[in-house]
Structure 1
Amino acid sequence: MTVSVLVVDDSGFFRKRLTEILTGSGQIKVVGVATNGREGVELAEKLRPDVITMDYEMPVMDGISAVREIMRKHPVPVLMFSSLTYEGARVTLDALEAGAVDFLPKNFEEIARDSSQLQKILIDRVLDVAGSRPGARPAPAPSRPPVPSSQEVARSRSRPDASAGSGPAPVVKPKEHAPEAEPSRRVPHRGPAKRYSVVGIGTSTGGPVALQRVLTKLPQSFHAPLVLVQHMPASFTPAFAERLNKLCKIEVRQAEDGDLLKPGLALLAPGGKQMMVENRGGQARVRILPGDERLNYKPCVDVTFGSLARSFPGKTLGLILTGMGSDGKEGCRMMKQSGSDVWSQDEKSSVIYGMPMAVAKAGLSDEVLSLEEIGPRLVEGVC
């Protein structure tokens, strides 16, 4: 089956290069190109592509505004192209909250060492986010107003009467290419809350929005420390941690080597590196290690969860959220073998049901929960 793609970018060179790479796969057909966000919205409605690739900075209408319009009118999986800078990270996070599924660096040299690797990365990513036709679900009202994009801020400053953005759009949920029946949903045993020593959360595609939904439900008095592993470039994790910290009642920051685990503190693994937890003499600290080139993911959920299983046998809660692939499955297996508990996100609320499916299909999930259930369940089940 051929995947149809609409390319939206104001750079003629980029449109041409991206079209050449995608059509060369034999699995993808570029059905249209647009030079700005407004054209992109109109062509999305007319052509109904399977996937849209979207630049974020364009004339007439920027990428974030276009994504919101597309999600409102006819939800389609959107793959954003972004610069790997702090400002690029902020804009990309805005786009993901608006409904984009995933992102890639716009500078091709930053994502591949050679042309063959570049082609594989781009083609695989488009096919992954395509999956099948997406389903849309209303996004819940955020605990605080949505953060405006930098371009929206600039426009509002230059036009005092400019109205605010339309707010978060529905989250697009592309399904796996050959979805199998979801494992039977376990009825959670609502027994007494457990005193976990630490909560570990691992996620990938769709994770930035999912983590925000979960963590904003936690009170400042949340008992357990948290460690977060989100597949994300090194230049993005500082901005992501800062964003979460502004939105959440608990403290969230990017982890540094030697940080102590503390109740109500969430430590985010830095991009491009590995985060492990050591528990010596009753003091638990994170260790930040260089990213091992032999590992596909930097940071890797399996690495962090494995260290949690060793440091806190029987006293860890592992949680796997939306994401491609199966990272986290082996770490969860180690947790279960040590007597700890594992929860996973359900298929319906996952942007990509890859990582949580791998955990659930392996029989490692003690509870399978929707995204909106996870935050309240953490408050209820973790004393």
Structure 2
Amino acid sequence: MKLRVLVVDDSGFFRRRIRDMLNADPALEVVGEAKTGREAIEKTLELRPDVITMDIEMPELDGISAVREIMRLRPTPILMFSSLTHEGAQATLDALEAGAVDFMPKRFADISTDPEQVQRQLQQRVREIGRRRLTGRVTRPAAAPRQESAVAKAGAPAAPAAAAATRPGRYGLIVIGTSTGGPVALQHILSRLPANYPIPLMLVQHMPANFTAAFAQRLNEQSAIEVKEAAEGDLLLPGRALLAPGGRQVGIRTIGGQMQIRITEPTPMQLYKPSVDIAFTEAAKACPGRVLGVVLTGMGSDGCEGARLLKQTGSSVWSQDEATCVIYGMPAAVAKANLTDRVLPLDAVATELASLR
């Protein structure tokens, strides 16, 4: 049975191109179109589509408000289209918090210059998110109590932080990798961690270059720990989470007993930028036997090979369970390869991470 898709955009040109790309896939069928957020709500209730593609900026009712209302009336997987601007990034994060499942950059140039690649990506994402009903949605809890002043968080940690490799405890570094569904999952986890969390964190979220700074800022506002986009030379410290920058790769070097971030340009052969596999590999080398790799919801298998190296060097791997994933791809790859030590629902991942000392 074909997945039924509703296409929502105020641009007639864009609606036609999306419709043609989706209808070219024998597994998909566009059953309706809408020009405004208000019309999108009406068509959703009338046509009951399996998936919705939606623009963010529309007349009458914007995409974010439409997502929120659709999630209230008839929860449906929604793929957003967003401009690659700072404002577009903020609006996309708002849409994901409202209930949208995933997003794609809205670049007319790409449709003109490389329509086949855009078509493949669009078809794959719609197929994947359409296979699951919204069982993986989670509500974001209130942030853990803040235990430091705003001045302390904005600058260096309030107390000198020892290098992770010299601290007692089982883990010297936690690396979390995710893709589709990851923004909400990361918010859910980080909001549970106290400001004095004893283990440094490195976060890898598949996301375009213009989006990660805005995402890190939002995570920082919602968390008691410090969260920032990783930059060259940043220290991996307790009470801090560094988010890999979009469009680049993140590595680790150890100088004077302290782990520092190393940013590199991706090669043409690297599909994911940033890559969970690369982050896991770098962590395994920098902190052998003392890394906890966590694979959350996401499409594809990024992280599987890196998890293999983590296990070979004596570190641990956890993965999110199928029931709470938006897309059970990356965690499934790790689990099927027998590389995961624990398979946990998202809420348990958050609780267990918060309890580590």
- Give the structure-2-normalised TM-score: 0.90
Indicate the structure with greater helix content: 2
Aligned length: 334
Unaligned runs of 5+ in 2: 145-167
Query: What secondary structure, in the 3-state scheme, does the structure 2 residue paired with 1:26 have?
Result: coil
The residue that corresponds to 1:12 in the other structure is: 12
TM-fit CA distance, 1:11: 1.3
Residue number among 197, 202, 208 corresponding to 2:183 in the alignment: 208
In the alignment, is the contact (CA less than 8 A) between 1:75 and 1:135 conserved in 2?
A: no
Alignment of 1:33-72 (within 5 A): 33-72=33-72
Runs of 4+ in 1 over 4 A off after TM superposition: 110-113
**Is 2:56–2:82's contact at 8 Å kept on the other side of the alignment?**
yes
1:134-145 to structure 2, matched below 5 A, reads 134-135=134-135, 139-143=139-143
Equivalences for residues 231-380 of structure 1 within 5 A: 231-380=206-355
Asked if 2 retains the 8 angstrom alpha-carbon contact of 1:261 and 1:285, the reply is yes
User: Is the 2:140–2:184 contact (alpha carbons within 8 Å) kept by the matching residues of 1?
Assistant: no
Contact kept in structure 1, 2:135 and 2:324, CA below 8 Å: no
Q: Distance in 1 between matches of 2:61 and 2:273?
A: 34
The whole-number CA distance in structure 1 between the counterparts of 2:110 and 2:87 is 16
- Whether contact under 8 Å (1:75, 1:136) holds in the other structure is no
Whole-Å Cα distance in 1 between the matches of residues 140 and 222 of structure 2? Answer: 15
Q: Distance in 2 between matches of 1:206 and 1:194?
A: 30
Residues 36 and 58 in structure 1, CA contact (< 8 A), matched pair in contact too: yes
Q: Work out the CA distance in 2 between the residues paired with 1:136 and 1:319.
A: 17
Answer whether contact 2:181 2:298 (CA < 8 A) is retained. yes
For structure 1, which segment, 101-110 or 87-96, has the greater mean C-alpha deviation from structure 2 after superposition?
101-110
The answer on 1:25 being equivalent to 2:25 is yes
- Check if 1:114 corresponds to 2:114: yes
Match of 1:80 in 2: 80
Task: Determine the C-alpha separation between the residues in 1 that align with 2:346 and 2:54.
Answer: 26
8 Å CA contact 2:136, 2:323 repeated in 1 = no
Contact 1:279 1:312 in 2 (8 A): no
> Displacement, 1:136?
6.5
Q: Bigger shift: 265-274 or 125-134? A: 125-134
CA offset digits 1:252-273 (Å, max 9, x no partner):
0001111111111111100000
Measured against aligned partners, the alpha-carbon deviations of 1:93-130 in whole angstroms (never above 9, x if no partner) come to 01011111111111132478422222222222211221
Counterpart AA for 1:57: E
Cα distance in 2 for partners of 1:321, 1:113 equals 33
For 1:138 and 1:213, the matched residues in 2 are separated by 8
In structure 2, how many angstroms separate the alpha carbons of the residues matched to 1:108 and 1:326?
29
* 1:148-197: CA deviation from partner (whole Å, max 9, x where unpaired): xxxxxxxxxxxxxxxxxxxxxxxxxxxxxxxxxxxxxxxxxxxxx94311
Aligned equivalents of 2:218, 2:211: Cα separation in 1: 11
Work out whether residues 252 and 266 of structure 1, in 8 Å CA contact, stay in contact via their aligned partners in 2: yes
1:165 is aligned to: none
Paired residue secondary structure (1:100): coil
Cross-structure match for 1:169: none
User: CA deviation digits over 1:325-365, x for unaligned, max 9?
Assistant: 11001111111111111111111111111111111121111
* Structure 1 residue 294, shift from structure 2 partner: 0.5
Amino acid in structure 1 at the alignment position of 2:81: F
Secondary structure, in 3 states, of the residue corresponding to 2:319?
A: strand
Identity %: 56
Q: 2:204 is paired with a residue of what secondary structure?
A: strand
Given the alignment, which residue of 198, 204, 208 partners 1:229?
A: 204
Q: Alignment partner of 1:236: what SS?
A: helix
Show the counterpart of 2:104.
Answer: 104
Q: Distance in 1 between matches of 2:62 and 2:230?
A: 33
Contact 2:252 2:282 in 1 (8 A): yes
Name 2:128's counterpart in structure 1: 128
Equivalent residue letter for 2:332 = M
- In structure 2, the CA distance between the partners of 1:236 and 1:110, relative to structure 1 (3 Å rule), is farther
- 1:241–1:133 Cα change, 3 Å: closer
Task: Classify the secondary structure of the residue corresponding to 1:235.
Answer: helix
Distance 1:363 1:138 in 2: 27
Give, as a single letter, the amino acid of the residue that structure 2 aligns with 1:315: R
SS of residue in 1 equivalent to 2:241: strand
Partner in structure 1 of residue 90 of structure 2:
90
Closer/same/farther in 2, CA of residues 58 and 77 from structure 1, 3 Å limit: same
Task: Give 1:11's aligned amino acid.
Answer: S
Q: Which residue identity does 2:124 align to in structure 1?
A: D
> What is the distance in 2 between the residues matched to 1:20 and 1:42?
23
What displacement does 1:72 show?
1.3
